[in-house]
């Protein structure tokens, strides 16, 4: 099939409302994809990007999931939806041959019951009764395209984030769809992983696939787009060529993160009293990073002395090889008021290092000291009084009925009942979540959930704040809130360790940047 005969997909959304809700989650939006084009839909967290993508891909069944008024046009066939019971029904299996979608959480794309990457790739073909010889060649071809050729025999559960994302894309494109919709494809990928995915997108476009990119960052990939659509407050606020929209007020308001050239992001609004850098955008390399007073001498808030660690033999699998050492002879100290960033590629052991700070993992050699005391043998929950650690997945941490209860959990024991609520409200305000106190945590957008998880850590006022990939999933408003909170915490004397794969963010926002490679930490 040549590019000229490929179909275009068009969607027009008057309104889409989930069942049980009164206000539409998306309204007044129109997008089209033509063969070989790259269309970017940019918007902050909770702007309705994923809903739009799933509607285009037939993942949200109209009538089943919610009420859709609007139209979808594919290959000249127009489907009109009036939110009525006799609306056309989309067969997701048939639709996905033409329009494929890769969700934000790449692992959700996988069947989870296939033992190898090759079988996972073939899963969709099996269900369409593709002859085995054709499957073999399709798997080989798709693997070569997505850079998975060396991983075909691996268990999908053991893939890194970048590999998993490429597998999900592979599963989507193996049926050679006309249009591919990618939801936040670069989130949490390191530079190498992102570059591979960008190459893949270019090669797919080259072969005539129309790409729709849903993203909260106007990153390098988005800047290759032929057309931008900006979503804000669940509706389209601007659309046009990237050159027109870069630096526009609409992009600024939408909370889209900019990368690279000045003007992409536009002017910034951080509270001046706490602004330390010239920019808060992840990935922005601006002039004049972090001129906060360097911390003075004195005892370290967190100190690692000669820490070594290796994941030992899996006790359930005797005979399994002992895995490589993850940390070797790590010496490092953070002082009150200091902000340190630890970077390194995906899989370098950054999260493993972080788990040593509060005793979730115990070193095989060396010692970890928090506020001058060794934490050997001290329970994690006790170390937590001085060590606030924020994990990558906020959902795992949130369990209360309301945002305020969530932030106030356990504060009574630390500060007394009278003060607990005030501390909780202050922490929510510090991350920009004032006004959401009564909401259920699950109702918040992904960006806000992450900030809420941060607030629960901040509210405890720990001496050390350790944040694991805090920028992932945050839109620009979220990044600003994170930035403000980190600077405030450092100003009150907390030592802050930020683990991130984003080197430019690290350089811009930390006093010192350390790199973890080969299990060793070195200053860069």
Partner 1 sequence: MKQRLHPFTALTAAASAAVVTTAAAYWPLSVAVALAAVFLAVRREVAGRVLPAAAVILTPLCLSLLVLHGLFFPEGQTVLAQWGPARVTAEGLGFALELGTRTTACVLAFLLFSFTVSVPDLVSALAGRRVPPQFGFVLASTLTLLPAVSVRLDRIRQAQETRGMVVRRGLVSRLGALRLQMVPLVLALIDDAGSRAQALDARGFGSPGPRTTYREVADPPAQRRFRAAALVFAAAAVAGRIVASWPAGVPS
Site for partner 1 in 315-334 (CB under 8 A): 316-319
Tokens 């870069």 correspond to 246
Site for partner 1 in 438-457 (CB under 8 A): 442, 456-457
Strand 99-102 to 179-183 pairing: parallel
> Which residues on neighbouring strands pair with residue 368, listed in sequence order?
304
**Cα–Cα distance for residue pair 194/77, rounded to 1 Å:** 35
Token pair listed for 438: 């009564």
Provide the Cα torsion 502, 503, 509, 513; round to 10°.
Answer: 130
Shortest Å distance, C-beta 109 to partner 1: 5
Interface with partner 1, residue 92, by CB under 8 A: yes
**Cα–Cα distance for residue pair 286/167, rounded to 1 Å:** 35
In this structure, are residues 491 and 411 in contact, taking their beta carbons and an 8 Å threshold?
Answer: no
Tokens 């005797």 correspond to 318
User: Quick one: 13 or 467, whose CB is closer to partner 1?
Assistant: 467
User: Quick one: 243 or 442, whose CB is closer to partner 1?
Assistant: 442
Which of 40, 135, 201, 327: binder of partner 1 (CB under 8 A)?
A: 135
> Which residues on neighbouring strands pair with residue 369, listed in sequence order?
303, 374
> Which residues on neighbouring strands pair with residue 515, listed in sequence order?
343, 522
The stretch near partner 1 (CB under 8 A) out of 25-33, 108-116, 271-279, 421-429 is: 108-116
**Cα–Cα distance for residue pair 175/359, rounded to 1 Å:** 47
In this structure, are residues 21 and 15 in contact, taking their beta carbons and an 8 Å threshold?
Answer: no
Shortest Å distance, C-beta 390 to partner 1: 8
**Cα–Cα distance for residue pair 281/338, rounded to 1 Å:** 20
Which of 69, 460, 476, 501: binder of partner 1 (CB under 8 A)?
A: 460
On the 0-12 / 13-18 / 19+ scale of CB atoms within 10 A, 107 is: middle
Interface with partner 1, residue 423, by CB under 8 A: no
Shortest Å distance, C-beta 389 to partner 1: 4
Strand 365-370 to 302-310 pairing: antiparallel
In whole angstroms, how far apart are CA 307 and each of 217, 328, 369?
Answer: 37, 6, 11
Question: Which alpha helices (DSSP H) does 377-439 contain, by range?
Answer: 380-383, 403-408, 411-415, 417-430
User: Quick one: 82 or 369, whose CB is closer to partner 1?
Assistant: 369
The stretch near partner 1 (CB under 8 A) out of 75-83, 291-299, 311-319, 493-501 is: 311-319
Question: Which alpha helices (DSSP H) does 246-370 contain, by range?
Answer: 249-254, 350-357
Which of 118, 280, 348, 458: binder of partner 1 (CB under 8 A)?
A: 118
Going by C-alpha positions, the residue among 201, 190, 257 that lies closest to residue 224 is: 201
Going residue by residue from 180 to 219, which x/- string records binding to partner 1, judged by CB under 8 A? ----------------------------------------
Shortest Å distance, C-beta 132 to partner 1: 6
The stretch near partner 1 (CB under 8 A) out of 79-87, 88-96, 278-286, 490-498 is: 88-96
User: Quick one: 116 or 207, whose CB is closer to partner 1?
Assistant: 116
Which of 409, 426, 439, 493: binder of partner 1 (CB under 8 A)?
A: 409
Shortest Å distance, C-beta 342 to partner 1: 17
Shortest Å distance, C-beta 136 to partner 1: 8
Interface with partner 1, residue 95, by CB under 8 A: yes
Q: How many CB atoms lie within 10 A of CB 76?
A: 7
Interface with partner 1, residue 131, by CB under 8 A: yes
Which of 389, 452, 497, 503: binder of partner 1 (CB under 8 A)?
A: 389
Interface with partner 1, residue 247, by CB under 8 A: no
Interface with partner 1, residue 119, by CB under 8 A: yes
User: Quick one: 117 or 265, whose CB is closer to partner 1?
Assistant: 117
Site for partner 1 in 334-363 (CB under 8 A): 355, 358, 360
Total residues at the site for partner 1 (CB under 8 A)? Answer: 71
Which of 10, 63, 73, 123: binder of partner 1 (CB under 8 A)?
A: 123
Q: How many CB atoms lie within 10 A of CB 88?
A: 13
Interface with partner 1, residue 288, by CB under 8 A: no
Interface with partner 1, residue 309, by CB under 8 A: no
On the 0-12 / 13-18 / 19+ scale of CB atoms within 10 A, 1 is: exposed
Token pair listed for 175: 């049926």
User: Quick one: 276 or 485, whose CB is closer to partner 1?
Assistant: 485
Interface with partner 1, residue 463, by CB under 8 A: no
User: Quick one: 317 or 492, whose CB is closer to partner 1?
Assistant: 317
**What's the chain's length in residues?**
524
User: Quick one: 116 or 149, whose CB is closer to partner 1?
Assistant: 116
The stretch near partner 1 (CB under 8 A) out of 212-220, 247-255, 382-390, 483-491 is: 382-390
**DSSP state for residue 394 in the 8-state scheme:** G
Torsion-angle region of 300 (φ positive above 0: left; ψ -120 to 50: alpha; else: beta): beta
Site for partner 1 in 42-71 (CB under 8 A): 54, 57-60
Q: Where are the beta strands (DSSP E) in 34-76?
A: 38-43, 66-74
In this structure, are residues 369 and 300 in contact, taking their beta carbons and an 8 Å threshold?
Answer: yes
Interface with partner 1, residue 112, by CB under 8 A: yes
Shortest Å distance, C-beta 318 to partner 1: 6
């Amino acid at each position: 099939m040549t590019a000229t005969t490929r179909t275009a997909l068009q969607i027009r959304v008057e309104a889409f409302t989930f069942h049980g809700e009164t206000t539409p989650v998306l309204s007044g939006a129109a997008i089209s994809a033509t063969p070989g084009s790259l269309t970017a839909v940019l918007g902050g967290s909770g702007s309705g990007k994923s809903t739009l993508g799933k509607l285009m891909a037939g993942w949200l069944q109209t009538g089943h999931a919610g009420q859709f008024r609007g139209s979808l046009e594919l290959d000249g066939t127009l489907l009109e939806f009036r939110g009525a019971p006799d609306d056309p029904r989309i067969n997701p299996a048939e639709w996905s041959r033409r329009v494929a979608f890769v969700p934000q959480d790449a692992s959700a794309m996988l069947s989870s019951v296939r033992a190898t990457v090759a079988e996972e790739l073939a899963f969709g073909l099996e269900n369409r009764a593709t002859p085995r010889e054709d499957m073999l060649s399709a798997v080989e071809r798709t693997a070569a395209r997505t850079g998975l050729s060396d991983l075909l025999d691996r268990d999908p559960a053991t893939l890194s984030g970048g590999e998993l994302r490429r597998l999900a894309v592979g599963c989507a494109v193996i049926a050679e769809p006309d249009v591919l919709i990618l939801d936040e494809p670069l989130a949490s990928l390191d530079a190498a992983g992102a570059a591979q995915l960008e190459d893949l997108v270019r090669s797919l476009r080259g072969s005539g696939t129309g790409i729709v990119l849903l993203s909260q960052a106007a990153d390098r990939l988005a800047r290759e787009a032929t057309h931008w659509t900006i979503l804000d407050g669940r509706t389209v606020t601007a659309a046009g060529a990237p050159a027109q929209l870069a630096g526009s007020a609409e992009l600024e308001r939408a909370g889209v993160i900019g990368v690279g050239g000045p003007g992409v992001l536009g002017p910034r609004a951080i509270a001046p009293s706490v602004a330390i850098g010239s920019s808060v955008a992840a990935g922005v390399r601006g002039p004049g990073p972090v001129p906060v007073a360097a911390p003075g001498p004195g005892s370290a808030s967190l100190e690692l002395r000669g820490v070594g660690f290796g994941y030992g033999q899996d006790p359930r699998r005797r005979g399994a090889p002992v895995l490589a050492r993850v940390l070797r002879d790590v010496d490092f100290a953070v002082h009150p008021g200091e902000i340190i960033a630890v970077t390194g590629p995906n899989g370098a052991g950054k999260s493993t290092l972080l788990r040593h700070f509060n005793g979730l993992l115990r070193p095989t050699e060396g010692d970890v000291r928090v506020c001058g005391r060794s934490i050997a043998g001290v329970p994690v929950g006790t170390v937590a009084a001085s060590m606030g650690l924020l994990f990558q997945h906020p959902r795992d941490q949130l369990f209360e009925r309301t945002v305020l209860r969530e932030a106030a959990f356990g504060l009574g024991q630390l500060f007394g009942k009278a003060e607990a609520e005030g501390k909780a409200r202050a922490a929510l305000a510090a991350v920009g979540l004032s006004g959401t106190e009564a909401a259920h945590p699950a109702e918040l957008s992904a960006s806000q959930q992450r900030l809420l998880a941060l607030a629960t850590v901040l509210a405890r006022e720990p001496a050390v704040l350790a944040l694991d990939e805090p920028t992932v999933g945050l839109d620009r408003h979220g990044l600003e809130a994170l930035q403000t909170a980190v600077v405030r915490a450092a100003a009150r004397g907390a030592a802050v360790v930020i683990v991130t794969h984003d080197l430019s963010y690290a350089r811009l926002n930390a006093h010192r940047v350390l790199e973890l490679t080969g299990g060793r930490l070195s200053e860069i």
